[in-house]
Amino acid sequence: MSERTFLLLKPDAIQRGLIGEIISRFEKKGLKLAGLKLLSVSRELAEEHYAEHKGKGFFEPTVSYIMSAPVVAMVWEGPEAVALCRTMMGATNPKNADPGSIRGSYAVDISRNIIHGSDSVESAVREIALYFKSEEILDYAKAGEEWLSE
């Protein structure tokens, strides 16, 4: 069964020139890109995105960081997309991330860990709605989809 997830390339990924490299990994895995945009995150959007962390010591530095440079917001689609993308991203703390994962390959510090991904289908729905209007998400047949799963 196909599902959608939200991924966000953080300022460190953009500043280090990793956009194409990271997107390529998800494409090569067979996931379908359904939405993509480069944007600057406003304080309002940052606070809404990280709302569950409000009051924690890392909230303000995290909000400030996500606003510090452009980000790339993406919607990816595929079978069990949330879990699959989380595995590909690696552990939140790069020190614990598998070497072949995105964070294991490119990140060194937990506060500069390259990428954010929804942790559940419910979170994906909420986060996608924060960054995308419904008409910005495309539904289309991807050539070769029939070869990826039953």
**CA nearest to 102, candidates 23, 35, 11, 6:** 23
Is 54 annotated in some ligand binding site?
Answer: no
> What is the rounded CA–CA span in Å between residue 64 and residue 86?
24
Q: Which residues are identified as catalytic?
A: 116
Is 103 annotated in some ligand binding site?
Answer: yes
Query: Which tokens sit at 50?
Result: 């990280």
Is 96 annotated in some ligand binding site?
Answer: no
- The residues with which 32 forms a beta bridge, in sequence order, are 77
Is 6 annotated in some ligand binding site?
Answer: no
Query: Which tokens sit at 113?
Result: 């860990």
Residue numbering of the annotated binding site: 10, 58, 86, 92, 103, 113
Q: Which residues are annotated as a binding site for ATP?
A: 10, 58, 86, 92, 103, 113
